[in-house]
Structure 1
Amino acid sequence: MMPRKRLGRTDIDISTLGLGTVKFGRNQSLKYPAPFELPSDETLRDLLACARDMGVNLVDTAPAYGYSEERLGELLRKERKNWVISTKVGEEFEADKFSGEGKSYFDYSAKHTRLSVERSMRRLRTDYLDLVLIHSDGNDMEILTQTPVIHTLQQLKQEGWIRAFGISSKTLEGGMLAAELCDTVMLTYNPGHTEEEPVIAKSAQHDTAVLLKKVLASGHICHDASPVQGAAQAFHGANAPEPDPIQGAFDFAYAHAGVTSAIIGTVNLQHLRANLMKALRAQNLA
């Protein structure tokens, strides 16, 4: 079973692996290696059941993930209490049904933040949200210091609408500041992207939770295993065996004690089962 850790300073316990759900509701304007069709409800039920049976209780979504929130609201409505739901504010995605493409726009105003949280609760069929992250447009410092979004989320937490808040950051500077201001920081960390690693240590100092995104480099980890191979050679020498890039990515992620949970997304049940076992193995639990 997937172990659990406390979400920073909160009283929320989350599994050390969480299920990302962008592919539950959006297949336009994404950076995955190959196009895909949105999965059926039956497929999603099987994925959620597999994750739940392996001890996963964290599910991550966002308004910018197309229909993900609505689909999760229906799929989880009878077992809401068994899940820790993380969603986001700030980014809106508009799909173009004719061109097959879409575009995002961002709004960090107090009014939009409140409206977004209210809408997410309706879509997810819940009267509270466990975790709300700011969906950064890349200007982390401006968002955190020059918009009212942090203050608004603090108010919503005080009012009981949300239990915790944070940011899905994109810069080292933003992540470092967020470690002081937020309950949670979500950051990119994998063998090919280590620039934000200092945020993990800073978060530990402030008892701030760290969620990892793009652990498998949005699926590209299998297409460019050179960072994993390099790490293996540094440890084993030039005769290092050809590594499993996915196992290597999980080993890399969980080697850092400051990591609370790693978020992975898939709509392939076989891949999910394999990744769950590799995540356990990386934590020396399989």
Structure 2
Amino acid sequence: MRYRVFGDTGLTVSEIGLGAWQLGNVTDWADGPDEAESLAIVGAALDAGITFFDTAPNYSGGHSERLLGQALRGHRDGVVICTKFGHYPGGRDFSARALRGSVERSLKQLQTDHLDIVVIHSPPHELFDGRVTAHYEIFESLKQEGLIRAYGGSVDWPSDIETMLATTGAKAFETWLSALHQEPWEATEQAGSAGAGTVVKVALESGWLAGRYTGESVFTDIRSRWSPEEVRRRAELTADFRALIPQGLTPAQAALRFVLANSGVSTVIPGTKSLAQLADNVAAADADLPAETVAALRKLFAEKIAGDPLGW
């Protein structure tokens, strides 16, 4: 495992982190890990050198934070924990008055006295603007009290990163970035130059860039949101992606190495539903993607996707 600084926050994180949406999640996926396997996955992640763990109050119906807190007992000083604010098992509450209570509940669930990073969880766009909301004053108070070390936003588009950099003290971004969704590429580099760290989410495009699906795939879970036309387009672009990656790399490893080629990225959090997936993801940190492959994938995006982005 290799490690990177998280902006100028003083935190250091593993290049490959663990996204904990899947922990104990048998609701969204029939093959999701149960509690025993979830604890085993976190244990194996620690053994592999992973130090960054990402969760949220609503993940796995509220069980993810609890399981992660249980699994990380005895390891707290050696890990960085990121959780979120705004989405909960019972719905959403982005009001400023709910922020402190959300942090306090996460502290209890995660069995810790501080949270390293808290991000606003894909909120309405106006909440990224520190000039029109009181959230960032509360974040600063929580930071002064030692309850959090850094804060920011979970974002999908470059304009949200740019707004937060210009109007808040945000030092943490969780950004949708992949070979097929490169819109935030330059903004992520800008965030790094400004002293912020970025966590990359959806780097495998919900499994497409891991080679799990084809144009004939039929979805009955959360991925059923894609129309037949979207499935066909994703399949075509995935084939283009696979044609450009070096021999000897799995598609998942190439996809993860691609986002790690961005100078602003601190860590990437591929979802992990099994120990086998974890091992494949960890292997992505062994080396860099060749510069010519990065350039070819940047060209693929510019020619076939830019201006007509994929839907979530």
Structure 1 portions without partners, runs of 5+? 95-103
| Residue range with higher mean Cα deviation, 139-148 or 9-18 | 139-148
- Aligned twin of 2:104: 118
Amino acid at match of 1:162: I
SS at match of 2:270: strand
Contact 2:253 2:280 in 1 (8 A): no
Aligned to 1:87: 83
Mapped partners of 1:37, 1:189: distance in 2: 26
**Residues of 1 paired with 2:67 and 2:257: CA distance?**
32
Change in CA separation of 1:242 and 1:121 when aligned onto 2, cut-off 3 Å? closer
Is the 1:228–1:243 contact (alpha carbons within 8 Å) kept by the matching residues of 2?
Answer: no
Aligned residues: 263
1:232 CA displacement: 6.4
Between the aligned partners of 1:217 and 1:21, the Cα distance in structure 2 is: 16
Question: Structure 1 residue 280: deviation in Å?
Answer: 2.3
- Residue 272 and residue 6 in structure 1: after superposition, are their counterparts in 2 closer, same or farther (change >3 A)? same
Q: Which amino acid aligns with 1:259?
A: V
TM-score, normalization by structure 1 = 0.83
Read off the aligned partner of 2:7 and give its amino acid letter: G
The gaps in structure 2 that reach 5 residues or longer are: 214-233, 291-312
Compared CA separation, residues 44 and 142, structure 1 to 2 (3 A): closer
Query: Partner letter of residue 118 of structure 2?
Result: V
2:145 is aligned to 159
CA RMSD of aligned residues (A): 2.4
Q: 2:95 matched to 1:108?
A: yes
- Taking structure 2 as the reference length, what is the TM-score of the superposition? 0.77
Q: What amino acid does structure 2 have at the position aligned with 1:92?
A: Y
Residue 263, structure 1, aligned to residue 269, structure 2 = yes
Which residue of the partner structure matches residue 240 of structure 2?
A: 230
The separation in 2 between residues aligned to 1:38 and 1:218, in whole angstroms, is 14
Q: Does residue 3 of structure 2 align to residue 4 of structure 1?
A: yes
1:242–1:130 distance in 2 versus 1, CA, 3 Å: closer
- 217-226 or 157-166, which deviates more: 217-226
- Give the residue type in structure 1 aligned to 2:174: M
Q: Give the match for residue 40 of structure 1.
A: 34
Cα distance change on mapping 1:276 and 1:24 into 2, 3 Å? same
**Residues 1:70 and 2:70 aligned together:** no
Amino acid at match of 2:155: S
Classify 1:134/1:242 alpha carbon distance in 2 versus 1 (closer, same or farther; 3 Å).
same
